């Protein structure tokens, strides 16, 4: 898929023509035709996700980049099912979920609106607080996480479910892996969508609170997925075509397990549902390798501090590095003068920059 269409879809004033969006699968084209006004949000959500991915991995050998010809309609597409691919699919799915839910609240999409008080999370919170009429009520206009979740699932996952003439075991494995990680991204957004409340009352006494649902910041989602990336679990596809973990959870003996042990086991199972999964061991990302789909680290800016996460020793893979002087000009020592303008000096800053050979 063409990497340029998210920017085009997000920037154009009119809904894009689906036939012009290169790389969409047949199912995605059908959804695009039905929901053309959603494509701006899909493109914008994908762009935000890619920016967040680049920020999270800015100091790593892999910095959320792939060769241009491998990039897809929602960002970098990986040839191998690595843990980097797992993060990419999860953050892109989360980004689309987030942006669709946000635009529903803003009234930019015809088929959805604010999150309503009929949603089950609202009812649960009302019950926890002793009833809607006691000290708080649902009001305002909340982010529509439920609609964002459903649309992201339908649009992104349809690609992984479509008939393929080359339905090999390898294709099936990647399809299962991609769908799992897509779902993890959506679940993280949904789990961390929380009520936000505003107090009302005389002199700020907060006699009544009005509450609405608010999506988490993209940075929070990125931080959570970064932690899950580091703890990602390797999987295999068994002879029945099902996904299984290399290190499955230990089974408990139902006849002897205590209640505490059963609760711990259930918590581990629940956590596993939001684990990122991968099939293939990652390459070292040191050099350009079209087979693995890596662009290497040549020319990357690094730190001369050996203890830094982006140290030249680590980032340059032992090839060494070069240094050069960069001079930047900026305004400084600004002062307000009566009346009424600001006067600044011009400062020249000289820094030494290190880049990988």
Please give the chain's pLDDT, 357 residues, in tens.
334 445 445 544 456 678 777 778 889 999 999 999 999 999 999 999 999 999 999 999 999 986 655 455 555 568 889 999 999 999 999 999 999 999 999 999 999 998 764 444 444 444 444 344 456 666 678 899 999 999 999 999 998 888 655 667 778 889 999 999 999 999 999 999 999 888 887 766 777 888 889 999 999 999 999 999 999 999 988 878 788 887 765 555 555 667 666 666 666 666 678 999 999 999 999 998 887 778 899 999 999 999 999 999 999 999 999 999 999 999 999 998 887 888 999 999 999 999 999
Range 12-21, long-range pairs (CB < 8 A, 24+ positions) = 12/40, 15/39, 15/40, 16/40, 21/73
Token representation of residue 330: 């900026």
| Rounded alpha-carbon distances, angstroms, from residue 247 to 172, 250, 272 | 21, 9, 11
Write the CA distances from 200 to 42, 106, 127, 135, 139, integer angstroms.
Answer: 36, 24, 21, 10, 12
What does the alpha-carbon distance between residue 16 and residue 35 come to, in Å, rounded to a whole number? 11
- The CA-based dihedral angle spanning residues 157, 158, 163, 168, taken in that order and rounded to the nearest 10 degrees: -10
> Residue 46 is encoded by which pair of tokens?
């994908």
Q: Hey, what CATH topology would domain 309-356 get?
A: Endo-n-acetylneuraminidase fold (3.30.2460)
Q: Which residues pair with 328 in a beta bridge?
A: 349
Strands (E), 27-77: 71-72, 75-76
Q: Tokens 């993060």, residue?
A: 87
- Residue 244: CB atoms within 10 A of its CB come to 10
Domain range list for the chain: 5-116+138-196+215-295, 309-356
Phi, psi of 93 (to 5 degrees): -60, -40
For 44, the token pair is 């914008």
């Amino acid at each position: 898929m063409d990497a340029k269409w998210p920017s085009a879809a997000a920037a154009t004033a009119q809904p894009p023509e689906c036939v012009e969006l290169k790389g969409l699968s047949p199912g995605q084209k059908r959804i695009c035709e039905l929901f053309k006004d959603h494509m701006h949000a899909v493109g914008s959500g994908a762009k935000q996700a890619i920016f967040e991915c680049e920020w999270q991995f800015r100091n790593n050998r892999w910095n959320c980049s792939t060769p241009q010809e491998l990039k897809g309609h929602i960002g970098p597409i990986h040839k191998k099912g690595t843990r980097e691919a797992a993060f990419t699919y999860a953050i892109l799915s989360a980004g689309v979920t987030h942006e669709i839910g946000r635009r529903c609240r803003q009234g930019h999409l015809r088929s959805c609106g604010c999150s309503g008080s009929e949603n089950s999370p609202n009812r649960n919170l009302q019950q926890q607080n002793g009833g809607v009429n006691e000290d708080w009520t649902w009001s305002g206009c909340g982010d529509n996480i439920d609609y964002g979740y459903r649309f992201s699932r339908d649009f992104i996952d349809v690609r992984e479910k479509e008939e393929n003439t080359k339905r090999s075991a390898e294709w099936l494995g990647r399809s299962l892996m991609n769908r799992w990680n897509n779902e993890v991204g959506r679940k993280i957004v949904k789990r961390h969508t929380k009520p936000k409340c505003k107090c009302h009352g005389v002199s700020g006494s907060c006699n009544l609170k009005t509450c609405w649902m608010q999506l988490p910041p993209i940075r929070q989602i990125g931080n959570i997925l970064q932690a899950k990336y580091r703890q990602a679990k390797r999987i295999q596809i068994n002879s029945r075509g099902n996904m299984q973990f290399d290190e499955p959870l230990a089974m408990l003996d139902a006849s002897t397990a205590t209640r505490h042990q059963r609760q711990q086991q259930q918590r581990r199972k629940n956590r596993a549902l939001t684990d990122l999964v991968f099939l293939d061991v990652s390459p070292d990302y040191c050099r350009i390798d079209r087979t693995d789909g890596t662009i290497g680290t040549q020319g990357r800016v690094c730190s001369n501090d050996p203890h830094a996460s982006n140290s030249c020793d680590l980032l340059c893979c032992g090839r060494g590095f070069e240094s050069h002087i960069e001079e930047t000009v900026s305004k400084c020592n600004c002062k307000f003068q009566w009346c009424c303008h600001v006067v600044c000096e011009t400062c020249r800053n000289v820094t030494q920059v290190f880049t990988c050979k």
